Amino acid sequence: MRDPASCLVAGVALWSVVALVASPGSGGPHPPQAPQQTEVILSISGEPGARPRYAVPDFILRTNDAETAAVAKLMGAVLWDDLAFEREFYMVPRDTYRTIPAAKSYGEIAFDRWRELGADGLVMGSVERTAPGTFRVEVRLFDVRSRRSVMAKEYTGTAANPRLYAHTASDDIHLQQRALRGAARSKLTFSSDRDGERVFNSIQPRDVKEIYISDYDGANQRRVTVTRKLNIMPRWSPDARAIAYTSYRRDFPDIFVSLIYQGTLENPTGGRDQNWLPAWSPDGTRICFTSARDGNSELYVMNRDGSNVTRLTNHPAIDTTPTWSPSGTQIAFTSDRNGSPQIFIIDADGLNLRKITSESWCDRPTWSPAPFNEIAYASRTGPGYDVRILDLATGERRQLTYGEGSNESPAYAPNGRHLVFMSTRAGKKQIFAIGRDGQGVRQITTVGNNYTPDWSK
């Protein structure tokens, strides 16, 4: 089967990523042997006890045309946002840069002026159009005090998605400066009714929902499914090349997998049973899901191709909403076997069941990636829900959202430092991102209603 809309989701490949040798000034403190030079990590520090302050001015134009100018303008703004997102650096607001003359080359950087502005690190870059639609983007990170370039990278590729240059540079800077895996190149997926399509079946007109994907910051939102049916609860495969979701394309809930770069569709469960809420094992070889095939909601595990289905739970109550531990040895899920829905953990072989929440109503557990060992879930705190996190080692519970609308369906960023969730705080149902410390909330979607997000791994 082919899913034509998925063909649109062609990845923008970075044709090559070339690391330039760091080019310190002539009188650097390090011996000039080149092989050792590349190994040296030059970390920019801020004032004692404060985060380093970074500035990202507009990129330098190497070729003088409108296309280059547009890409250069985008680079600075997107890179600033990307670096701000992880909150490892204090990002000096871009509207304060206008008193500083724009450099036409790296030799003209007014380091004294940037120092006056309080910048510790300066991210400068250049954009060159090498052929129509093809660019070479260079990004350098300068230590403003020492005036040294501590990182230099060159990226070449097409203009199909210029934001990806900035995302890649941001991840490289976080990796080099903070040994941190940034989230700038990760992606989101969610279900949306934004197209306003309705099915006029014989009972009532009904909204359809389609699966969408977007960049981590909400840019490049694209539709994956074109079924004019209900498509809900998408989950990224660990390699971020496929999305498993619950689709009513055959008028009952079943699990489908869209391979977004091939534009193909798989239906591993098949048959006539109702199956929903697929969850990929961390290695991507298995899918845990809920099925009513034996008369009520139980958890099952199958191989990715649908073979070797084994039943995990066996209880007349509801067992649903599975999530795997990072090691793949345990599965957390929702069950109402003790009354109201609560979160339980079971070993992946079906043994060692234990209950971990005792609240009013808990659902949609999402296990954090390592090194964090915690489970986020939606907990009823009033008329609606809030996102809470249970630390599995300490048993401590903390709350991320506080009663502003209903906040449900949390999912972790690949580095575990952020979560994405659905909230009604802005009126309609929208996707928001928030730090795992409960700070830095960002609205991701604005059009239509958007539900049940997931973050690529």
Partner 1 sequence: MRIRSVSSAVVLGMTLASLVVGACGTKKPPVARPLPPPPPITTPPPPPPPPAGPIRETPVVPAPAVVEDPMATRSIDDLNRDSPMRAAFFDYDSVELSAEARAVLGANAATLKKYASWAITIEGHCDERGTAEYNLSLGERRSVAAQSYLVSLGIPAGRLRTVSYGKEFPFDPGHDEAAWAKNRRVHFVITAK
Distance CA 258, CA 453 (A): 16
CB 386, min distance to partner 1, A: 12
Name the β-bridge partners of 159.
none
Cβ proximity to partner 1: between 207 and 239 the closer is 207
Sheet strands (E) in 208-361: 210-215, 222-223, 231-236, 242-247, 254-259, 264-266, 275-280, 286-291, 298-303, 310-311, 319-324, 330-335, 342-347, 354-355
CB 314, min distance to partner 1, A: 15
x-or-dash pattern for partner 1, window 262-281, by CB under 8 A? ------------x-xx----
Piece in contact with partner 1 (CB under 8 A), picked from 56-64, 136-144, 154-162, 202-210: 202-210
x-or-dash pattern for partner 1, window 237-256, by CB under 8 A? ---------x-x--xxx---
CB 422, min distance to partner 1, A: 8
CB 294, min distance to partner 1, A: 11
Piece in contact with partner 1 (CB under 8 A), picked from 129-137, 149-157, 226-234, 411-419: 226-234
Between strands 442-443 and 121-131, the pairing is unpaired
Tell me the site size for partner 1, rule CB under 8 A.
41
Please check whether residue 17 is in contact with residue 153, taking contact to mean a CB–CB distance below 8 angstroms: yes
**Long-range pairs for 135-140: beta carbons < 8 A, 24 or more residues apart:** 135/68, 135/71, 135/159, 135/162, 135/165, 136/62, 137/59, 137/71, 137/75, 137/165, 137/169, 138/20, 139/79, 139/165, 139/169, 139/172, 139/173, 140/106
Cβ proximity to partner 1: between 272 and 354 the closer is 272
| 408 near partner 1 (CB under 8 A) | yes
| Contacts to partner 1 from residues 371-390, by CB under 8 A | 378, 383, 385
**Cα torsion at 27, 29, 33, 36 (round to 10°)?**
-140
Piece in contact with partner 1 (CB under 8 A), picked from 66-74, 196-204, 348-356, 440-448: 196-204
CB 341, min distance to partner 1, A: 5
| 432 near partner 1 (CB under 8 A) | no
Please check whether residue 139 is in contact with residue 169, taking contact to mean a CB–CB distance below 8 angstroms: yes
Cβ proximity to partner 1: between 285 and 296 the closer is 296
Instruction: For residue 310, give every residue at least 6 positions away whose Cβ sits within 8 Å of its Cβ, in sequence order, or none.
Output: 300, 301, 302
Interface positions with partner 1 (CB under 8 A): 201-204, 206-207, 209, 230, 232-233, 246, 248, 251-253, 274, 276-277, 290, 292, 295-297, 318-321, 334, 336, 340-341, 361, 363-364, 378, 383, 385, 408-409, 451-452
